Structure 1
């Protein structure tokens, strides 16, 4: 089923490329040639170092690091730290936890119960003292303090009223008169003089600022704008074009050098395979393997069979010697100490025949006569 055209994704439009100037076109080819000549040896050396580093890491550094840094720590953890931790845990449990549990269970718990009972008795005694002794005394003290506070409040109220009247007519009224007829007019005159002085300073500052502004604009800003617009901007654009072309040339040369390095590596690998690997493989396959098979069939296997036969004969001889020595020891013991006594039969306690225990009898095999 075909997808409707309205659901199809529109093709991506290529991003507009900025127009290139004559300077970029003029310096592109020489820069790319020079950079390619300089970058190819660096890329070859870099790829050789990368291959050598990977080979050294896989064959030397990783095994050595495992043998030197990993396995000693694993062995230390497995055979030293873990057994030591288990031993310490066992000793801690035996010497600390078990005594602490015993102390808590058989010493601290009874002592705590006794102290709790004593505390409850003391608390009940203190509650009786509070209810029967301290509460009536407190009520009497509160009644006496209330009367004394009422008298003191009456005296303090009279004194405060007198002080308030004297403060109003000796301090507040003269202060209001002084503020209204002396301080306020003087303050208004000083404020008017300050506003005039501020206006004068502002006018002078505005004139001086305008003069300094136009002087700085003419002497500093206009020359800086001209320098930026007519000198630095064209030079910066030229340097930007040169830097962009050098960057593109480096990237292009690095990619080309990578292809060249890959081709050189493949050629060297092919030569190494033709010169060393294939001759060695041919020698191993056509010479060493048949020779090894012949040596295995004609020398090693017969030698192994002979060795196994010698081993079997040796084991049989050793077995016969051990049997002979055992028989000689038995004959010597019988000749010196005589025949050993025959073992006496032991009376069996199990019931025999029809004398077994039944459900209707109360005696057992061990209790019967």
Structure 2
């Protein structure tokens, strides 16, 4: 069973740190912490103020500006587009179709198309004539002229040029090539010697001193600067975290102090003074005043109802004195039974058994 168990993970070995790193770390962290704590506290205060400003001022102002822009810009533009631009565009489209498209189509169909067909017929006729002229006249003349020009060019140009190339230009060109090769070999040898001399001079005077300077001066200085930079960066991160905790503690202390100095007294005054006083005012003043207002409202509604009923009765009396009693309506025999009566098989209320 022990052989099946996975091997335990070995702890990561830390690289040994030199005395220079240990000597630089502590003073750098102290200095950076002293410099970073005020910056972090100012940063946290600015963040809190920015959040408060965003929640209390910027968001409501943005919503108000958005609503104002919608009312002053979007809705008028939408109404302008819907009730002005679209109808005007449709009217212009109808006018353009009526005044431009329809006449243009008629002109194309009844004027341009016949003219085009006539031009095409003329072009085909002219093309046929030109084709006959080319095939019967110009082609034979061109063939004869080409043969004559070819014979003249072969005897007057090609033969002299071939003789000049074989007996004059070719020997001169070979001599020039041999001279150029010799001159190129000489220049290559000279340039190679000068290049070797310059190479060793540059290597001795520049490369070897620069290599020694890099190996014995710049590389050690770079390692020291890298160690210092890494420690400064680590110190900045460590100091920033510590400053955050310090800022959080200071903020909590200030919040507790504000709560003890302002919030708790206000809460105590609200609970111990304002709430009982409000209850007393509500029970002794507001509730009786509300009950009296409700009673007054009920009395006013009853008076209005009585006045309305009196006016209705007086209007009925005046109508009766002027026009007399209204005539009584004659009773109409209902074909359907009343709600209380029910239909039976012996009743004559259906369409088939009706008298």
Describe the shift of the 1:120–1:307 C-alpha distance in structure 2 as closer, same or farther (beyond 3 A): same
1:289 Cα deviation from its structure 2 partner: 1.8
TM-score (norm 2): 0.74
Aligned residues: 333
Cα distance per residue 1:200-230 (max 9 Å; x no partner) = 2122212222222211111111211111111
1:72 Cα deviation from its structure 2 partner: 0.3
Name the CA distance, whole Å, in 2 between partners of 1:239 and 1:141.
Answer: 92
1:126 Cα deviation from its structure 2 partner: 9.4
1:228 correspondence with 2:219 = no
The residue number in structure 1 matching 2:238 is 252
Which of the residues 136, 141, 146 maps onto 1:147?
A: 136
Residue 267 of structure 1: SS of its match in structure 2? helix
The residue number in structure 2 matching 1:86 is 82
Which of the residues 26, 29, 35 maps onto 1:29?
A: 26
Describe the shift of the 1:124–1:94 C-alpha distance in structure 2 as closer, same or farther (beyond 3 A): closer
Describe the shift of the 1:116–1:79 C-alpha distance in structure 2 as closer, same or farther (beyond 3 A): closer
1:56 correspondence with 2:57 = no
Name the CA distance, whole Å, in 2 between partners of 1:116 and 1:285.
Answer: 95
Which range moved further: 86-95 or 177-186? 86-95
Describe the shift of the 1:66–1:140 C-alpha distance in structure 2 as closer, same or farther (beyond 3 A): closer
Residue 20 of structure 1: SS of its match in structure 2? coil
Residue 322 of structure 2: SS of its match in structure 1? coil
1:159 correspondence with 2:145 = no
Describe the shift of the 1:301–1:37 C-alpha distance in structure 2 as closer, same or farther (beyond 3 A): same
Name the CA distance, whole Å, in 2 between partners of 1:144 and 1:44.
Answer: 102
The residue number in structure 2 matching 1:360 is none
Describe the shift of the 1:41–1:316 C-alpha distance in structure 2 as closer, same or farther (beyond 3 A): same
1:42 correspondence with 2:39 = yes
Cα distance per residue 1:60-81 (max 9 Å; x no partner) = 22212222x2120232356533
The residue number in structure 2 matching 1:349 is none
- Unaligned segments of structure 2, at least 5 residues: 329-334, 336-355
Name the CA distance, whole Å, in 2 between partners of 1:60 and 1:140.
Answer: 90
Name the CA distance, whole Å, in 1 between partners of 2:163 and 2:104.
Answer: 82
- Unaligned segments of structure 1, at least 5 residues: 346-352, 354-369
User: Which residues of 2 match residues 1-369 of structure 1 at below 5 A?
Assistant: 17-67=14-64, 69-76=65-72, 79-88=75-84, 91-92=87-88, 95-96=91-92, 103=98, 116=109, 146-149=135-138, 151-153=140-142, 155-156=144-145, 159-160=148-149, 162-164=151-153, 166-167=155-156, 171-318=157-304, 320=306, 339-340=322-323
Which range moved further: 232-241 or 257-266? 257-266
Residue 339 of structure 1: SS of its match in structure 2? helix
Describe the shift of the 1:120–1:295 C-alpha distance in structure 2 as closer, same or farther (beyond 3 A): same
Name the CA distance, whole Å, in 2 between partners of 1:173 and 1:124.
Answer: 57
Name the CA distance, whole Å, in 2 between partners of 1:172 and 1:94.
Answer: 77
CA RMSD of aligned residues (A): 4.6
TM-score (norm 1): 0.71
Name the CA distance, whole Å, in 1 between partners of 2:86 and 2:327.
Answer: 51
Describe the shift of the 1:285–1:213 C-alpha distance in structure 2 as closer, same or farther (beyond 3 A): same
Name the CA distance, whole Å, in 1 between partners of 2:234 and 2:46.
Answer: 25
Cα distance per residue 1:265-299 (max 9 Å; x no partner) = 22222232233323322332233222212211221
The residue number in structure 2 matching 1:350 is none
Name the CA distance, whole Å, in 2 between partners of 1:232 and 1:126.
Answer: 89
Describe the shift of the 1:5–1:118 C-alpha distance in structure 2 as closer, same or farther (beyond 3 A): farther
Name the CA distance, whole Å, in 1 between partners of 2:184 and 2:119.
Answer: 80
Cα distance per residue 1:74-132 (max 9 Å; x no partner) = 3235653333333226634774567778x59xx977996897588898899999x89xx
